[in-house]
Each structure stands twice: as C-alpha cells, then as structure tokens.
C-alpha cells in the first residue's frame, strides 16, 4: 500500500504491504550476501520442509520514531541471539548476529516512509522469518533455507491499547510441554493456539493464560506475551524452564522493576490459585507487540478475579512509562538498549 494512503493514527495489528524486504538464501552450506528487494511473493517448492513439517522460525521487533525524530530499534541484538537459539532447536543454519542487526536497519531505512509518526504511538513492526525452503520427503532438516525480513506499520496488538484486558485461564489447552519447543520462536508453536484463541474470544476474553502442561497448575504465558503479577508487593514472573518464550520485553521489565522501581523480583513457579488471593494486586503481560498490557481480570470456569476495578495498576503504569519512555527516547537510555537506525 502507498504510504500516503495509510492512516497512521488508527492502525491495528493487521497486515499491510510495505515496499521492500530483505531476502537471503542458504545453499551448499552457506548464506548468500542477501539483498533488499521489492516486497512480493517468493517461489517455493511444494516439497519445502517448512510447508510439510513446519521447519520455520521468526522474530518480532519494532522500529519506532523517537521524540528526537530518530528512528530507533530496541535491543535488536537480543532478537539476533534468540533467532539463533530457535534455529539451533529446529536444526536450521544460524545467521551472523551483527549482520542481522545491520540488515534489519537496512530494511527499516528502505521502508522509512512507513514508520508511523512519534505522536501516533504506532510502530513499524519488523518480521524476520527463516524457513526450510528446500524440498525433503523424510522427516529431516532441509538443505536449503530462505531468510526474509519484511515490515508492517502497526498500532496496538490488543485493540484495547493501554487498557486492561480480560484473560481466561485454560484448563483445556496447553501450549508447550517440557522437552518441547516452547522456548523457541517456531511457527509450530503458534498454529495450535489459534483455535483456543478463537474459542476464548467468542467468550469475550482477549487471550488465554496457558498453564504448564504437566500439572496444569503453574502459569506459563499468555499466547503471545509473557506474564507478570504483583504479589505481596513483589513482582513475579514464570521462570524460564524451556516451555515459555524468553521475552526481550520480559527481561527489560525485570531490570526496570528491580533497578528503577526498587521492587523485589522473582522468577518462579506461580500457581494460578495465587491470582485469586488478596495478596495478588496487579497483573500484566509483556511483548514486542503487546508492549505492557495491563490485565483487568482473570477467569477460570465460573471464578473471576478483577484487579483494580479493571484499571491498570500503579506498578504496571510506572513500568509502562519507564519502558516506553526509554524506547521513544523521552527518558535517558541508561542501559544502552536503544539503537538508532
């Protein structure tokens, strides 16, 4: 879509075509140099490993217009690292991490006209996708791979914006089991969450809170975001045990909570039952797309717990202000998280 036809002030989280993408191919054991090309379809063999066996991984990042007018990325080297962790789990070739950051910058520059203005609150979402594009019949890794980075201008992931969302705790579905791929950002983790999401949305919830697959007792994550809760004035989030995505926003929020708000933070098992107790006073979820989204209520079957009359809590608000303040260069970037494109 031509950028002049986009209403940057009313964007949702939907696919909009931008002008350019990066494409690199891996063949005979090495990556070609890759290039920025016009956005468009790619040719792929029907026998491609990704089409048949789901050998695909992706990342999610944002380019923002900062208060200073600069276009900035947030901790892009962490996405490079995580892409390679996912690649290793799926037996795919890794991509040079420094080059990753450089080509992300190039794609953003090539699509500069699609970066939503600072005062719109929107972002240019960046989607690196790495797929096993070579054909294979037996279940085994492809010999050829394709790496694409495309961009989409977006507004908030949850249409509510910085308003609290209602979540359902599921005792019916799980997302990832011990020994599985929960920690990797593989396409295979997302297709199975579409039916649970559809069912919960039909009941009026924004998303599901997934519990651990072994006991269905401890919180894993929120489908497309990590989970946090304030219990006894301590900020708790599920520990990384291989079943949840190690979120970059999660990691940043833990740092901000501890170092800027002086809160005690805990990475631990959190029973869903704790959310129904008085000592639990706030909850929110974090992600590149979700940023920090307050949780207004959690429900399990006929039990419902409302936090703060459905309003964002004080700690949630403070963390949101710190995080987005650093991301938009309204606050000092004392941790060196922001990278200018």
Residue count, binding to ligand COI (CB under 6 A) = 5
Residue 226: contacted member of ligand PLP, ligand COI, none (CB under 5 to 8 Å, by partner type): ligand PLP
Q: Residues 57 to 76: which contact ligand PLP by CB under 6 A?
A: 60
CB of 276 to ligand COI, least distance (A): 27
* Cβ-based nearer residue to ligand COI, 136 or 226: 226
**What φ, ψ does residue 154 adopt, rounded to 5°?**
-135, 155
CA quadruple 196, 200, 205, 211: dihedral sign: negative
Query: Is 203 among the catalytic positions?
Result: no
- How many Cβ atoms are within 10 Å of 107's Cβ, its own excluded? 23
Q: Could you say which residues in the range 251-290 bind ligand PLP, by CB under 6 A?
A: 286-288
Strands 145-154 and 123-132: antiparallel
Piece of the chain touching ligand PLP by CB under 6 A; list 3-11, 129-137, 211-219, 221-229: 221-229
Give SS3 for 323.
helix
The catalytically annotated residue of 35, 185, 303, 317 is 185
Q: Select the residue interacting with ligand COI from 188, 261, 289, 306 (CB under 6 A).
A: 289
* Of 1, 123, 141, 138, the residue nearest 63 (C-alpha): 123
Pair of tokens at residue 10: 């009313």
Q: Is residue 104 within 8 Å of 59, Cβ to Cβ?
A: no
Residue 203, both tokens = 């009941």
State how far the alpha carbon of 165 is from the alpha carbons of 29, 102, 206, in Å.
Answer: 46, 36, 6
Q: Identify what 248 binds: ligand PLP, ligand COI, none; CB under 5 to 8 Å per kind.
A: ligand PLP
Segment interacting with ligand PLP, rule: CB under 6 A, options 104-112, 146-154, 219-227, 263-271: 219-227
Contact predicate 210/275, CB 8 Å:
no
Contacts of residue 108, defined as CB under 8 A and 6 or more positions apart, other chains included, come to 63, 71, 73, 115, 124, 126, 151, 341
Residues 232-251 that bind ligand PLP (CB under 6 A): 245, 247-250
Closest CA to 313 of 231, 248, 258, 254: 231
Could you say whether residue 226 binds ligand PLP (CB under 6 A)? Answer: yes
Nearer Cβ to ligand COI (60/141): 60
239 binds, among ligand PLP, ligand COI, none (CB under 5 to 8 A by kind): none
Tokens, residue 109 = 């520059």
For residue 287, the surrounding DSSP H or E stretch is strand 280-287
Site string for ligand COI, 239-278 (x = CB under 6 A): ----------------------------------------
Scanning 90-98, 102-110, 194-202, 285-293 for contacts with ligand COI by CB under 6 A, the matching segment is 285-293
Q: 205-234: which residues touch ligand COI (CB under 6 A)?
A: 224
Question: Per-residue string for binding with ligand COI, 38-77, x by CB under 6 A?
Answer: ----------------------x-----------------
Binding span for ligand COI by CB under 6 A among 18-26, 169-177, 284-292, 331-339: 284-292
Q: Please give the helix or strand (H or E) that residue 30 lies within, else none.
A: strand 30-31
Name the helix (H) or strand (E) containing 228.
Answer: strand 226-231
Q: Which of 120, 103, 1, 3 is nearest to 61 (CA)?
A: 103
Asked if 128 contacts 149 with a C-beta cutoff of 8 angstroms, the reply is: yes
Nearest distance in Å: CB 39, ligand COI: 19
- Give strand pairing partners of 127: 150
Is 101 an interacting residue with respect to ligand COI (CB under 6 A)?
no
Told to check if 293 binds ligand PLP by CB under 6 A, we report no
Which residues bind to ligand PLP, rule: CB under 6 A?
Answer: 60, 221, 224-226, 245, 247-250, 286-288
Catalytic sites, residue numbers: 185
Which residues bind to ligand COI, rule: CB under 6 A?
Answer: 60, 224, 287-289
């Amino acid at each position: 879509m031509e950028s002049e036809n986009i209403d940057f002030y009313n964007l949702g989280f939907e696919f909009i075509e931008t002008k350019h993408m990066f494409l690199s191919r891996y063949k005979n054991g090495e990556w070609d140099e890759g290039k920025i090309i016009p956005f468009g379809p790619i040719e792929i063999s029907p026998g491609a490993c990704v089409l048949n066996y789901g050998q695909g991984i992706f990342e999610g990042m944002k380019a923002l217009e900062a208060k200073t007018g600069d276009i900035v990325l947030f901790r892009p080297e962490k996405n490079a690292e995580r892409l390679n962790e996912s690649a290793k789990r799926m037996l795919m070739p890794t991509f040079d991490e420094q080059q990753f950051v450089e080509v992300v910058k190039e794609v953003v520059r090539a699509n500069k006209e699609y970066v939503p203005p600072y005062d719109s609150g929107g972002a240019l979402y960046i989607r690196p996708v790495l797929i096993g594009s070579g054909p294979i019949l037996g279940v085994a890794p492809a010999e050829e791979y394709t790496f694409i980075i495309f961009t989409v201008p977006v507004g908030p992931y949850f249409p509510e914006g910085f308003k609290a969302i209602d979540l359902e705790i599921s005792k019916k579905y799980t997302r990832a089991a011990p020994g599985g791929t929960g920690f990797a950002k593989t396409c295979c983790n997302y297709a199975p969450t579409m039916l649970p999401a559809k069912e919960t949305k039909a009941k009026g919830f924004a998303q599901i809170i997934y519990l651990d697959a072994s006991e269905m007792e401890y919180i894993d994550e929120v489908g497309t975001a990590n989970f946090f809760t304030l219990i006894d004035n301590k900020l708790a989030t599920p520990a990384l045990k291989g079943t949840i995505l190690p979120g970059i926003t999660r990691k940043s929020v833990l740092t901000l909570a501890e170092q800027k708000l002086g809160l005690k933070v805990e990475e631990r098992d959190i029973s869903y039952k704790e959310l129904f107790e008085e000592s639990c006073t706030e909850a929110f979820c974090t992600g590149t797309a979700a940023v920090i989204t307050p949780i207004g209520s959690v429900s399990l079957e006929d039990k419902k717990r409302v936090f703060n009359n459905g309003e964002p809590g004080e700690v949630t608000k403070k963390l949101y202000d710190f995080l987005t303040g650093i991301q938009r260069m309204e606050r000092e970037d004392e941790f060196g998280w922001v990278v200018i494109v």
